[in-house]
Every structure is written in C-alpha cells, then in structure tokens.
Amino acid sequence: MEIDLLVLVPLVAILGVFYHFITKGNKYFHDKPIPSLAVEPLFGSTRNLIMKKTAFHDFVISIYNKYPLVKVFGMIDTMTPMFVVRDPELIKRIGVKDFEYFMNHRPVFGNNDDPHNEALFGKTLIAITDQKWRDMRATLSPAFTGSKMRQMFELIVECCSNMAQHYKDEIRKNGASSREHEMKDVFTRYANDVIATCAFGIKVDSLKNTENDFYVNGKKMMAFNRPIVILRMMGFRLVPKLMNYFSLDLFDREQSDFFKAIIRDTVRTRDVNGIVRPDMVHLLMQARKGALKHQREAEDREEVKGFATVEESEVGQAQTSKGMQMSELEMVAQCLIFFLAGFDTVSTCLTFLAYELTVNRDVQDKLYEEIRQTDKALAGGPLTYDAIQGMQYMDMVVSEGLRMWAPAPATDRLCVRDYVVDDGERLKFTIDKGTVVFIPIAGIHHDPQYYPNPSKFDPERFNEENREKINPSTYLPFGIGPRNCIGSRFALMEVKAIVYYMLREFSFERTPNTQVPLRLAKGFAGMRSEKGVFVEFRPRQVTST
C-alpha cells in the first residue's frame, strides 16, 4: 500500500500540474465584455478542427457566423487566447493604423532567428519579428515591384506555353478527343516549375519528369498531415522554447538540406562566373550587397494593377543606407518561403478557380472571348505583362475566385503591447500583450452583408462600377497592412498567365468524377477538396476570323 501511495501521489501531482498548464488560459475571456466560444482542456475551442471533423475554411466561416451581431469575440486555440475580429473598421485599425501594437505573426512554427540555428522556417519573412522583420521587409520589397515582375514574366510565359503544349501533345499521341486531369496535381506541377525557374534559377519539367527532385521535396514539405509534422506543430504551440532549444524545425532535415545545397551552389556558380538571370536568386544576391533599392519607377506608378494586388507600406519602401546583413541561411529561408507559397498557395487558387470555370460555363465562355481578343491583338505572339494586366474580365474572375476560395482562410497578429479597444459606444476592453488577434478572412468573404449571395461565383462583383463599393477591409486574400503578402503581384501574374494559356487551347469540361458541389477535406493543414477536382481538357476548335 505504501509503495502504491509513493507512486500515486507524485503521479497525481504531475497530472495536476499538467492539467493546470493546459487549462490556465481557459478562463481568460471571463473578465472581458465580449462573448467567447466554449472551451475544452487541451483542445480549447478547436476540437472539431484538430480531430478533422471540419475543414479549416468551413471552421472559420462557422465561428464567424456564431456571433453575427458582435465586433469581436474570444476563442482559445489549444492554450492560446485569440480575439476573433469581425468588424472591418477594427481590422483596419489593428492591421494598418495601430500596426505598431500588432507587428508580428503568432509564432506557430517557431521564430528562432539564432544565426547558429539551422532551422529554416524561423528565419523566413513570415516568421521573423520586430526590427529584424522591418529590415528584411525593406530589403526584399524592391524585388517585388511591377518592374521586377515584368522582367520575370518571360520565365512564367515559358512555363505556361510548355504546359499547354504538353497537354495538346498528350491528347494527340493518345488519339483522344480530350483527357481528364486532377487539377491540384496539374497546377502543383505548374507552380513547381514556375517557382523553380523564378526563385531558384533552375529549369525543371514536372510534366515530363514527374518525380523530379524539386517536385518530390516540395510535396514532402507540404505534407502537413503526416503524424510527425502534426507532433512538431503541437510542440511549437505547447512548448515553443523547448522546440527552439533543440533547434527543431517544421521541415524534415532532408528537405531543408536539399534546398540549402541548391541555393549555395547557385550563388557560388553565379559569383564565380558572373551569371545574371532575372530571378529571385539574383535579386536576393543584389539585396545582400545593398544594391537593391526601392525606387518609385514611373512604370510602377502607371501600371494597371489587379484588384487583389496589395500595396507596399512605408515599411517596405523604407530606404536603408546599406543592405541588410543577410546570412546565407536567411537567404535560403527566403527562397524557401517563396517556393512553398508558390507551390501550395498558387496551386490551390488555380485548382478552385478551374472548378468554378468548369461549373460556370457562362463565365468561362466570357473569359475565353477576352482571351481570344487579347491573342488576336498580340497577333498570336507570346503573352506580355502589359497585355495580362490589361485584361479586365480576367482580373474580375481571379478576384472572385480569391474571394470565394481564399487560399489562406484566416490570418493573425500577435499583440506586442497592451492595446485598448474602444469603439466610443459600449465596447471597451484591453487586448493584452502576448494574446493573438485572429482575422477570419473566409468568414468576411462569405458574409452576405458585404457580398450578397456569397456562395454564388459572380465576377461581376468586381466590375468597374461594383468594385468601388467594396470596403478594402472586407477583401483580404493577401492579408492587410504592412504584413500583407509581399508576393501578391507575382502570384496574380502566375495565376492569370496559366489561365490564359490553358483556356486559349482547351475548354474546361465536367466529368463523372467532378464533385458538384465541391466539399473540402477536413483538417487544418491546407485547403484542398475532399475527392480532388477532376476536369476534362477538351481542345478548342479554333475558327478563322
């Protein structure tokens, strides 16, 4: 009996300490004058998400709709208190006007910027914080101006042309009238090839060489549903200091080493041989030397921008007397985050856009007519940057696709010092330092108050007349404020270019495998369809005009 007690008492004590640790924040919102979601130990308010009973996109919409009359409510994500902000004006204040209070993202996957720590994710632009982030943003921002995108556009067009030709050749060789394809696979391969050439300066063909190293390693890095990755993610949420102490990274060492080796070899080769190529490696090499400055080129001021394009803030436009002392690891990390964003986010956007074009044939036909007219104006020549920027209906279609299926259904900000919310009416409370603000992008995008009949794919929401009525704080596919997506221009031209080339050659048709309506796969790791998005590529019968 004594032995049992000797074992039992410490065990109960340990369990008690553990229970206190995982529940200590569960009553955080009880003293706040706002409603909050129900809480469970360890899961917080997110059991359905963690247990894969709902998709992240659907989860965001469901919690957003929980309290339709409030501006903000509370939620516990595992152990972290989060203020879910529904009000566009408060979102604008937090994301833009009072940015100094909310400068950082929540450190979900670690933010260890120790130069001796080999973990890459913590050194990416999305993870670094405070002044280090300011310096990096100002250093990288000049690489994403319209003029720099113009220089890269030829590389993207080459990938688009190769892809369209591949599928034409495939149909011809098989003697078929058309061919069914799964869109996520198709566009992941396209995005892989674009980012390989534009970010890493390496040409790969993921359609012919289906298991190339770039594609295989990218797929492994984005497989967030693997048990080991889920454990790491939980580790960064529960014991982030311990994870950083052991230099643990979100990514497997094998994949990290692969990308480190590529960048190091590329930089070394270019330095030795004086090679210049209009891609991200070259721009980062310039930035590292302090040769890349933010200039207001006339062509950038006059450029026709897409509705979804975000403007760079004063942080990004800040001039520095010398380049940021960017280490080799930091340079690799920036290339890596560009790769992952291109690999997954762009392919996700294109997958859902292809679905909407397939099931909304009137939209597809109208877009094809604009493509045909643009092609005629180019006399059958390659697509140009100015031509794609001038396609109004294309921009409307892509803007609506990003509204309905925002690849990032939510974003967040970490409160870095106490912030008082006071709407001048009845709402007054403090967002405490160390808590998180959660911005439910998908919920806002599907709110009929801002977008009537939100489940309908309607590009006319973004025509010249209607777009003027849209509150910018209710359209956030690339985030808001100084920490918005630095690569919005790149992503948009990448999406528009491949839609142009594929729709010019093929019509998108339903097949028996096309799931209508589309249902999303459950879980929080990435937005994807439940059963894939299957579309038939049917070659167009082009008639002379």
| Distance spanning both ends of the chain, measured CA to CA | 96
Which residue's entry shows tokens 């693997």? 226
Token code pair at residue 168: 């034409």
Of 135, 107, 134, nearest to 121 by C-alpha is 107
* 24, 16 Cβ separation under 8 angstroms: no
* 165, 157 Cβ separation under 8 angstroms: no
Specify the pairing of strand 436-439 against strand 534-539: unpaired
Euclidean distance between CA atoms 228 and 252, whole angstroms = 9
Q: Is 160 annotated as a binding residue?
A: no
Q: Quickly count: other Cβ atoms within 10 Å of residue 193's Cβ.
A: 28
Q: Quickly count: other Cβ atoms within 10 Å of residue 456's Cβ.
A: 11
Give 257-319 as a DSSP string.
HHHHHHHHHHHHHHHHHT---SSHHHHHHHHHHT-------HHHHHPPPPTTPPPP-HHHH--
Euclidean distance between CA atoms 355 and 340, whole angstroms = 22
Euclidean distance between CA atoms 66 and 86, whole angstroms = 11
User: Residue 384, SS3?
Assistant: coil
Token code pair at residue 464: 């010249």
Q: Quote the crossing angle between the two packed helices 361-377 and 347-359, to the nearest 10°.
A: 110
User: Residue 139, SS3?
Assistant: helix
* Side chain identity at residue 349, one-letter code: C
Angle at 499 between CA 504 and CA 402, to 5 degrees: 150
User: Residue 421, SS3?
Assistant: strand
Euclidean distance between CA atoms 52 and 508, whole angstroms = 31
Which residue's entry shows tokens 């359609």? 207
Sign of the torsion angle spanned by Cα atoms 278, 215, 511, 538: positive
Residue 118: phi, psi to the nearest 5? -80, -10
* 470, 476 Cβ separation under 8 angstroms: no
* 37, 76 Cβ separation under 8 angstroms: yes
**Residues for the chain: how many in total?**
545
Distance from the Cα of residue 501 to its chain's centroid: 23
Question: Which residues carry a binding-site annotation?
Answer: 485
Question: Which residues carry a binding-site annotation for heme?
Answer: 485
